[in-house]
Chains A and B, each alone.
Chain A
Amino acid sequence: MSAEAVVFYVFGAITVLSGAVVVLARSLIYSAFALLFTFFGVAGLYVLLGADFLAATQLLIYVGGILVLLLFGVMLTHKLYDLDLRSEVTQFAPGIIVASGLFVILIAVAVRTQWTAGPGRPPSVTTAEVGRLFMGQYLLPFEAASILLLVALMGAAMIVRRKKAA
Chain B
Amino acid sequence: MIGLQHYLIVSAALFSLGMLGILTRRNAVNVLMGVELVLNSANLNLVAFSRFGSGNLQGQLFAVFVIVIAAAEVAVALAIVLTLYRLRRTSNLDEADILRG
Contact = CB atoms under 8 A, between A and B. Distances in A.
B54 to A, nearest CB: 4
Interface string B1-34: 1101111111011111111110111110110111
Contacts of A58: 67
Nearest to A21: B17
Nearest to B50: A121
B76 A74 contact: no
A57 B18 CA distance: 21
Interface residues of A, number: 82
A164 B71 CA distance: 28
Main secondary structure of the interface of A (DSSP, over half): helix
Contacts, number: 225
Nearest to B40: A42
Interface residues of B, number: 70
B13 A19 contact: yes
A110 B5 contact: yes
B28 to A, nearest CB: 8
A16 B18 CA distance: 10
Interface of B: 1-2, 4-10, 12-21, 23-27, 29-30, 32-34, 36-37, 40, 43-44, 47-57, 60-61, 63-65, 67-76, 78-83, 85, 91-92, 94
5 contacts: A12-B6, A61-B71, A66-B74, A106-B8, A123-B51
